[in-house]
Structure 1
Amino acid sequence: MEVLRSLLDEPLILLFVILFLGSWFGSLSIKGLNLGAAGVLLVAMVFGHFGYAISPVIQNFGLSLFIVGIGLQAGPKFFRMLRSSGLIFGILSLLIIIFAVATTILVAKGLDLDPALSVGLMTGALTSTPGLAAALQATHDPLASVGYGIAYPFGVLAVVLFVQLLPRIGKIDLQKDLEETANPIRTAGSPVLTTLEVTNPMLHKSSLSELNFAPYDAVVSRVIRDGHTMIALGDTVLLHGDNLVVVGNETKLEGLTAYVGKPVDTDLENPDNVHLRKVTVDSDEVIGKTLKELRLRKDHGTTVTRITREGIELTQNPNLPLIRGDVLTIVSTEQRLDEVEELFSRKKLTITNLDIFSISVTLLLGVLLGLLPIPIPGLGTIKLGTAGGPLFVALIIGHFGKLGPIHVRYYGPSNHVIRELGLVLFLAGAGTTAGAGIVEVIQTEGVKLIFGGVLITLIPIFAGYFAARKLLKLSVVHSLGGLSGGMTSTPALGALNQLIDSEDPAIAYAAAYPFALILVAIASQLIVFFL
């Protein structure tokens, strides 16, 4: 025992033991649910209770690194969503956070809870580690971690159960409801699929490359002639009576129809030689290039019919530069699709493109911003701190991707490494600090903390869902997907995906999640002024 204690007195040994045990504990799964990185926090609390502590320098470094990773991840989506239909999910996230803040204030006042404990309960109920980081910065009190650790497990479980049980209890046909309710993701300018019969004599015996579909933001994916389906290529010659399967701008559908001929109903079942595939842009060799430059039709015999960016469908535009993460819907034969998928997924031999200079500058600018006092009329001044400063700097840099010598468009795994490494270092430090007083807090406030955590979890869930359905007029699928994102609950999204075969839940989640990340971090700092 003495040997073990002497080993744990070594800071690095203590750190790695906590990370090892915490990651193992967090990976334990019960019916598909696990604590994930929160396992490190709980294990660290145990060590903190026995008097062990991680250096604050390690904790703050981990915090800044984690927050920068979050900002770089959310940056490309956050500002783009503000200019698109995704804003409605941002409003949903805002409402959920407002409900959570109001409930937290009422619970704190009604149960006479410590402010730091109350804010910690809120961040745990919302399963938001960035929120916990902001709370610790604002309160300078490790009790926030105690509240987080108590509310987190129920916060994870409650959203998952709500998503799974609501359709069953309400006997809701999710697919039917999705089809019958206005879809905010597919806006008036979204691409739609239609079939047009060629009756315009000017199109007879003309190749597709000779025709001008650009004014209609449309692309022909297939040509159906005498019941036989062909892949539409540049040298495909059209004949009078051909049926063209077109993906185009809904607002320009009337003009497109007049140009081609007339709309018809036809069987769009794909024959064995025609396939659709979704391909994700992830190769440095194609990023920044346009579809016109890639010459996919001419060189590869394939047609891109749709482009989905950050969950929003864009009108197919041959002059639109591609960015990493774009999802292309491509039509062709199986063999040609394999070739094109290799083109878009091919990477150089490097397994990471992290740039230490860029990360260091981003961290430095963020920490400096966090030190600046910001006056708030009637409330005094507030500092963004080690959490808020790096978050806003990373959001801005992440949005642009490159500012002078700073470039932060990393491969997905690279950004994941930044976030996960920073997160576990932060949780190890926060946990040992909070663990020093956790037993006393639970003994004196245990029942009140659990009751408060349940209220702060359930009220935003039910109120958020009601607002999504009645105020924002969203479908059940979009309401549950947006609720999962607003509560920052990835397990809930997984549960929802098992209930319906559609991309809509993930799109709603992706649209709400960046707003929730930012709003919880802000709310965790501002709420301190009201407690």
Structure 2
Amino acid sequence: MFEWLKTLLFPTEDPSVIQSLVTIMLAIGTGVFFGRLKMGKITFGVSAVMFTGLILGHFGYRMNEEIFDFIRDFGLILFVYGIGLQVGPSFFSSFRNEGLKFNILAVSTVLFGGFITFLLFKFTGVSIENLVGIMSGAVTNTPGLGAAKNTIVELKNQFPDKTFDDPTIGYAITYPLGVFGIIGVIILSKVLLKIHPDVEMRKFRMNKINREEPLVHKKLRVTNPQYFGIPLGEVINSIGHEIVVSRLKHSGEVSVFSPKLDTELQDRDVLMIVGKEADLEDFIKKVGRPSTDSFIESDSDINKKNIFVTKPSAVHKTLSDLDLYNAYDVKVTRVFRAGKEMIPRPSLELFYGDILRVIGTDQGIKEAEK
């Protein structure tokens, strides 16, 4: 009765296209699931997909030969394309910071790995195909394996009588060591060098703050009579700091809203402000004092959400072009690009893959998201 289900889910020597697609989905699905599980403080992330693939291969799961090359190349294309979407928009701008140093380090690592592989080829007698697979697996470099496979296909066309080894075997053998070995070296280095992660993290954050201050949020109580009845935009301009006021609550009220630039400040108003810490401290000092009011953090009236920039109608537009506040009553409080937080200036141009953190009503956010 369930013979079709058994045929679909269990391994066979000559699988159909549908069976091959089920195998791929099984490897990806179980890999993503196990990649999210924690072993102590360690998670394997997407690398768990590789391990589930190895396990399925061990139990006899195969791919249809007619679609094997397509699936391999298509997966590689998606991988490279996904990386490009994530870091492409900020690739050239990163050279102004540490990008050049990191790229030199990466190129040096690749060249050194190639040099070690060449030495092993000269002195061990292992075929260059297997060594390329071993090198790719040792550094978990899947695109490198794909390039090696394509090169072998081209060589087979030129030398049809010559037999080539499959670099995938060496890749599969060394890939687990490329994952577990790195984890083991990090743990061993921590013990031998007596490294304390918490201390190092504090040093790293202080170093990052000295180079590029992160964005933070603080609460402010308006107490300076000089700014009573003054529009919010004029107050920000007069003090001269790049900050965003994401929320405002009048004294004695429980309703919270996102203020406009022409909203006039009142005595004992509570503001939620976003910007660099030094700027916020100076702004609070001039306008009032720090607040402990917890009602302004309530999400009963307004919500926040991260929106990915993916539509062509928004890419390469500035925030002032989109005018989300006037159109949907939604305010952008931060922009994330390749892990970097930025103040949402009106002139800021958006790129594909940017993330906008917005606040507003549920309906307004849904409309802006469309």
TM-score by length of 2: 0.64
Offset at 1:149?
1.5
Instruction: Tell me, yes or no, if structure 1 residue 118 matches structure 2 residue 128.
Output: no
Instruction: Tell me, yes or no, if structure 1 residue 155 matches structure 2 residue 175.
Output: no
Aligned mates of 2:197, 2:13 — CA distance in 1: 58
Match 1:81 to one of 80, 91, 100: 91
Q: Look up the match of 1:36.
A: 49
Offset at 1:121?
0.7
| CA gap 1:222/1:177 in 2 versus in 1, 3 angstroms | farther
Please say if residues 198 and 244 of structure 1, whose CA atoms lie closer than 8 Å, have aligned partners that are also in contact.
no
Instruction: Tell me, yes or no, if structure 1 residue 72 matches structure 2 residue 97.
Output: no
Please say if residues 248 and 296 of structure 2, whose CA atoms lie closer than 8 Å, have aligned partners that are also in contact.
no
Query: What stretches of structure 2 of length at least 5 have no aligned partner?
Result: 1-6, 39-43, 156-163
Please say if residues 89 and 352 of structure 2, whose CA atoms lie closer than 8 Å, have aligned partners that are also in contact.
no
Offset at 1:205?
1.1
Offset at 1:150?
1.1
Instruction: Tell me, yes or no, if structure 1 residue 266 matches structure 2 residue 290.
Output: yes
Aligned mates of 1:228, 1:42 — CA distance in 2: 60
Instruction: Tell me, yes or no, if structure 1 residue 217 matches structure 2 residue 227.
Output: no
| CA gap 1:148/1:322 in 2 versus in 1, 3 angstroms | same
Match 1:145 to one of 162, 165, 168: 168
Aligned mates of 2:350, 2:111 — CA distance in 1: 36
Instruction: Tell me, yes or no, if structure 1 residue 207 matches structure 2 residue 231.
Output: yes
Aligned mates of 1:257, 1:177 — CA distance in 2: 29
Match 1:130 to one of 115, 120, 143: 143
Aligned mates of 1:278, 1:246 — CA distance in 2: 17
Question: How do residues 375-390 of structure 1 correspond to structure 2 at under 5 angstroms?
Answer: none
Q: Look up the match of 2:307.
A: 280
Q: Look up the match of 2:344.
A: 316
Instruction: Tell me, yes or no, if structure 1 residue 328 matches structure 2 residue 338.
Output: no
| CA gap 1:345/1:98 in 2 versus in 1, 3 angstroms | farther
Please identify the structure whose Cα radius of gyration is greater: 2
| CA gap 1:245/1:188 in 2 versus in 1, 3 angstroms | same
Please say if residues 314 and 322 of structure 2, whose CA atoms lie closer than 8 Å, have aligned partners that are also in contact.
no
Residue range with higher mean Cα deviation, 282-291 or 138-147: 282-291
Please say if residues 272 and 296 of structure 2, whose CA atoms lie closer than 8 Å, have aligned partners that are also in contact.
no
Question: How do residues 351-430 of structure 1 correspond to structure 2 at under 5 angstroms?
Answer: none
Offset at 1:17?
4.5
Corresponding letter in the other structure for 1:233: P
Question: How do residues 332-351 of structure 1 correspond to structure 2 at under 5 angstroms?
Answer: 336=361, 338-346=362-370
Instruction: Tell me, yes or no, if structure 1 residue 54 matches structure 2 residue 54.
Output: no
Query: What stretches of structure 1 of length at least 5 have no aligned partner?
Result: 347-531
Q: Look up the match of 1:178.
A: 201
Aligned mates of 1:340, 1:172 — CA distance in 2: 46
Count of paired positions: 326
| CA gap 1:82/1:283 in 2 versus in 1, 3 angstroms | closer
Corresponding letter in the other structure for 2:333: T
Aligned mates of 1:274, 1:296 — CA distance in 2: 22
Corresponding letter in the other structure for 1:218: I
Aligned mates of 1:36, 1:23 — CA distance in 2: 10
| CA gap 1:81/1:284 in 2 versus in 1, 3 angstroms | closer
For residue 212 of structure 2, give the secondary structure of its aligned residue in structure 1: coil
Aligned mates of 1:81, 1:200 — CA distance in 2: 47
Offset at 1:324?
4.6
Instruction: Tell me, yes or no, if structure 1 residue 236 matches structure 2 residue 263.
Output: yes
For residue 329 of structure 1, give the secondary structure of its aligned residue in structure 2: strand
Please say if residues 335 and 356 of structure 2, whose CA atoms lie closer than 8 Å, have aligned partners that are also in contact.
yes
Please say if residues 136 and 142 of structure 1, whose CA atoms lie closer than 8 Å, have aligned partners that are also in contact.
no
Offset at 1:322?
3.7
Aligned mates of 2:191, 2:213 — CA distance in 1: 34
For residue 65 of structure 2, give the secondary structure of its aligned residue in structure 1: coil
For residue 36 of structure 1, give the secondary structure of its aligned residue in structure 2: helix
For residue 148 of structure 2, give the secondary structure of its aligned residue in structure 1: helix
* Per-residue Cα deviation, 1:324-375 (whole angstroms, up to 9, x for no partner): 533233345xxx1x334423544xxxxxxxxxxxxxxxxxxxxxxxxxxxxx
For residue 149 of structure 1, give the secondary structure of its aligned residue in structure 2: helix
* Per-residue Cα deviation, 1:143-179 (whole angstroms, up to 9, x for no partner): 31121121122223334556678778957354x5433
| CA gap 1:164/1:287 in 2 versus in 1, 3 angstroms | farther
Aligned mates of 1:208, 1:237 — CA distance in 2: 6
Aligned mates of 1:82, 1:198 — CA distance in 2: 45
Question: How do residues 244-263 of structure 1 correspond to structure 2 at under 5 angstroms?
Answer: 244-248=271-275, 253=279, 257=282, 262=286
Corresponding letter in the other structure for 2:146: A
What percentage of aligned pairs have identical amino acids?
22
Corresponding letter in the other structure for 2:168: S
For residue 342 of structure 1, give the secondary structure of its aligned residue in structure 2: helix
Please say if residues 279 and 328 of structure 1, whose CA atoms lie closer than 8 Å, have aligned partners that are also in contact.
yes
Please say if residues 277 and 331 of structure 1, whose CA atoms lie closer than 8 Å, have aligned partners that are also in contact.
yes
Offset at 1:266?
1.9
Please say if residues 291 and 320 of structure 1, whose CA atoms lie closer than 8 Å, have aligned partners that are also in contact.
yes
Corresponding letter in the other structure for 1:54: E
Please say if residues 41 and 149 of structure 1, whose CA atoms lie closer than 8 Å, have aligned partners that are also in contact.
yes
* Structure 1 or 2: more helix by fraction: 1
Offset at 1:16?
4.9
Q: Look up the match of 1:513.
A: none
Aligned mates of 1:279, 1:328 — CA distance in 2: 5
* Per-residue Cα deviation, 1:399-419 (whole angstroms, up to 9, x for no partner): xxxxxxxxxxxxxxxxxxxxx
